[in-house]
Structure 1
Amino acid sequence: MKRELKLSITIFVVVFLIDQIVKFGFANLAWDVNGPYMSLKLAYNYGVAFSMFAFLEHYLKYIQLVLVLLGTLYLFKNPNVFKEYYIPTALLYAGGLSNILDRFTYGGVVDYFYWHHWFEFAIFNIADVMIDLAVVIIIFKQIKQSREEKKQNEIKS
């Protein structure tokens, strides 16, 4: 368990710091760049994914902190879950807490990747990508586990 904890802390710190440094650059150093397919353009998201719940702008940071606290309590009570999912947990916490810090620091989440070739896509950031990656890893592991259990049940039958 110590190895998993050390690795998850390392992943968390690296992802969190990279995301915050890049966001600082966009928010304070005008790093905007326009490209033919994708642009790097500062935007603030006052809601959650695709700006949903923007009407909760001032309360979202507190709601999200409560959700992180509840998730942390769940992991403390279920260390086997953390041991199985320590990498996606680290990615999820790094991305989530980085976006929450933006809400306290900038008033909204700092976004900057803007895809606009063939279709316009929502503006997003590294933290969002890490959160999505964490969800994909969790789903992949769940599907894999389900298939293994199904095989085991077929062998027993």
Structure 2
Amino acid sequence: MKFNRLFLAIFGFTLILDQLVKGWARAALNNGDFFANTEVIGNLSPLPWPGVFELKLIYNRGVAFGLLDGKGYLMAPVGILIAGFCLWYSGKMPARPRLPHVALSLVASGAVGNLIDRVWKQKVTDMFWFRAIDFPVFNIADACISVGVVLLFIAGFLPGALPAETPTEPEPQTDPQPETAPEAPEVQPSPETQREES
């Protein structure tokens, strides 16, 4: 199986970015604390959009977006299966179109990113919060999975985005030859018949 370079590049970049941001959040944010607009971490303001999009560090022991709290261990084998399937399916597909490879790589990197947290710390680090709509706190891995699933859905409706199956040509059918009756042997006239005719 030949691996797609675009898949591997996006997978590696988003996975490293996810782990770096999680490490930064664990080091810079206090668990459960909200940052006021006047507070600054280093030279960066932690609130890009106060009251709408904020940073809040929580540890999720469930699945994505805080669901099924305490049941995160159930997602470990699921994450392995999802990432393995995405890698396998991308390797089977042609290099173009690219959209399915992008979508599969995002889903795979998100699954592996959260899997690392569950194996390493038995919990997933989340830090992004849309406060305006009280959306569940999430991380880059969660976002990658969501965006990847949406792109796969779009790819299913765009012509040419997913490789079409090559139709197999039916074998030519030959008409059966009609059965011919065997020719009757030619009857030679007997000598008596020849004398009568003469």
Is TM > 0.5 for Structure 1 vs Structure 2?
yes
* 1:142 matched to 2:156: yes
Partner of 2:141: 127
Change (3 A) 1:69 1:141: closer
* Amino acid in the other structure paired with 1:80: M
* 1:42 matched to 2:57: yes
Structure 2 matches for 1:46-65, cutoff 5 A?
A: 46-65=61-80
- The answer to whether the 8 A contact 2:104-2:152 is kept is no
Uncovered stretches (5+) of structure 2, i.e. residues with no partner:
37-49, 161-198
Partner of 1:68: 83
* Amino acid in the other structure paired with 1:116: R
Uncovered stretches (5+) of structure 1, i.e. residues with no partner:
147-157
Render the CA deviation track for 1:13-47: whole Å, top value 9, x for unaligned.
11111110000011123276443222111111222
Measure how far apart 1:83 and its partner are: 5.9
- Please give the TM-score of this superposition, normalised by the length of structure 1: 0.75
Structure number with higher relative contact order (C-alpha < 8 Å, ≥ 6 residues apart): 1
* Amino acid in the other structure paired with 2:151: I
Identity %: 25
Flag the structure with larger Rg.
2
Change (3 A) 1:10 1:72: closer
- The answer to whether the 8 A contact 1:82-1:89 is kept is no
Partner of 2:126: 111
Q: Choose which of 76, 87, 103 in structure 2 pairs with 1:88.
A: 103
Equivalent residue pairs, number:
142
Render the CA deviation track for 1:59-78: whole Å, top value 9, x for unaligned.
432343244345545556xx
Measure how far apart 1:128 and its partner are: 1.3
Measure how far apart 1:115 and its partner are: 1.3
Q: CA RMSD in A?
A: 2.8
More helix by share: 1
- Please give the TM-score of this superposition, normalised by the length of structure 2: 0.61
